[in-house]
Structure 1
Amino acid sequence: MGRSPNETCWACSLLTPAEARKLHDAAVGGDGCWQDALCHSRRSYYRKGRGQGVRRRSQIAEIVVSVPEVPYVVLHTYVDQPRQANDEVVIHAMCAELWVGNQPRAMTQPQHTFGLPPRLVKEYARQLLEALYQQYGQGKRSGFERYAHEQQHSVSQCPVRPCAYHATHLEALVLRGMEG
């Protein structure tokens, strides 16, 4: 059995390279865990997974068989640390994205969910599925029963503004305080 994933490296892989260096490179005031020789490839590994090397080495001819275009829904969560399916990790924000085949068709507006109890977060996730079904289901439940995949993003990539994590709404208060 392989080593368990390093949660710090996994969370770092969700950040942009500039954010990762700022957070972890001691030269720019980070915590000092950044290592130029390792971090670039390690971040790539955590983003793309083990299968990339296997796919690249494959020299066998490929036959393309088209797949029926079936709708499926992807749940996007913004978290401050990696989470498993039933973890009690706080989900900062979430949205859902509808795909049909290989094309994205619709996305719900991202909303903050931090502060909600886990029961209400799960209920909100069900409401997102139901909203996409009502709009695009055409009476067919297939693809709308559950999420096909959960895509986790770093909380620093939260698209909702104003956002407590980014605190840009507080900058005006700080500037007013300096004037007075």
Structure 2
Amino acid sequence: MARPLAEKCRRCAKLSVTEAKEKDCWAGQVCHVRRHGYRNRDRYNKQKKKQYAIATGKIIPEITVAVPATPAAILHLYRVRVDAPLHAIAAELWIGQQQVAKVEPVHCLGWTGMQVKQYSREVLKGFSGQLEDVVLDRFETTVELNPNQCPIRPCPLHPE
């Protein structure tokens, strides 16, 4: 059975290398390897599954299929943990492999959960307005980013 994920290492993997090195728990090469593993976990798991399929003779033939150009909205949340307060929010609209629209990050300091949901709905309405005959009712995926990577200036985390 696989070892459970260390929550503090998972959060640290989101930080830049210089920010991670400033932490008290930094352990040099061990941390470099661990951060790389956390960031590339999905890719490694896919490779392992493919190697297992080859080894057991369960190779599935690959075929080429045209990829449909369906719209997908992606929500970016700047927060430390899932249960931590939201620092900022941003969004992107993609159709196939091309980015069509983007909502720049906005600070959410002092917002209630209901205000965040309402803002998200407004973003989806705006994205739906960019599309013809398509109404987006949810975000396809959510990306969590560390608040230290917040690009908004001025920012309470980045005093000038």
Describe how 1:53-64 pairs up with structure 2 within 5 A. Answer: 53-55=45-47, 58=51, 62-64=62-64
Matched letter for residue 148 of structure 1: E
Counterpart amino acid of residue 132 in structure 2? Q
1:14 and 2:32 correspond: no
What TM-score do you get using the length of structure 1 for normalisation? Answer: 0.76
What are the residue-to-residue correspondences of 1:100-111 with 2, within 5 Å?
A: 100-111=95-106
Q: Does the alignment pair 1:129 with 2:124?
A: yes
Match of 1:149 in 2: 141
Q: Distance in 1 between matches of 2:107 and 2:145?
A: 13
Letter paired with 1:139: D
Q: For 1:45-56, list aligned pairs within 5 A.
A: 45-55=37-47
Aligned residues: 152
CA distance in 2, matches of 1:146, 1:37: 40
1:42-79 per-residue CA deviation (whole Å, 9 max, x = no partner) reads 11122222442542764666433222110010000100
Secondary structure of the residue that 2:78 maps to in structure 1? strand
Q: Which residue of 2 is the match for residue 174 of structure 1?
A: none
Corresponding residue to 1:160 among 147, 152, 157 = 152
- Mapped to 2, the partners of 1:93 and 1:148 lie a distance apart of 19
After TM superposition, the runs of 4+ consecutive aligned structure 1 residues lying more than 6 A away are none
Please tell me the root mean square deviation across aligned C-alpha atoms, in Å: 2.0
State the AA in 1 paired with 2:6. N
Runs (5+) with no aligned partner, structure 1: 25-30, 169-180
Letter in 2 for 1:98: L
| TM-score normalised according to structure 2 size | 0.85
For residues 143 and 32 of structure 2, the distance between their equivalents in structure 1, rounded to whole angstroms, comes to 21
2: CA distance, partners of 1:50 / 1:42: 14
- C-alpha displacement at 1:147, in angstroms? 0.4
Counterpart position of 1:91: 86
Q: Which runs of 5+ in 2 are unaligned?
A: none
Contact 1:95 1:128 in 2 (8 A): no
Q: CA deviation at 1:37?
A: 3.2
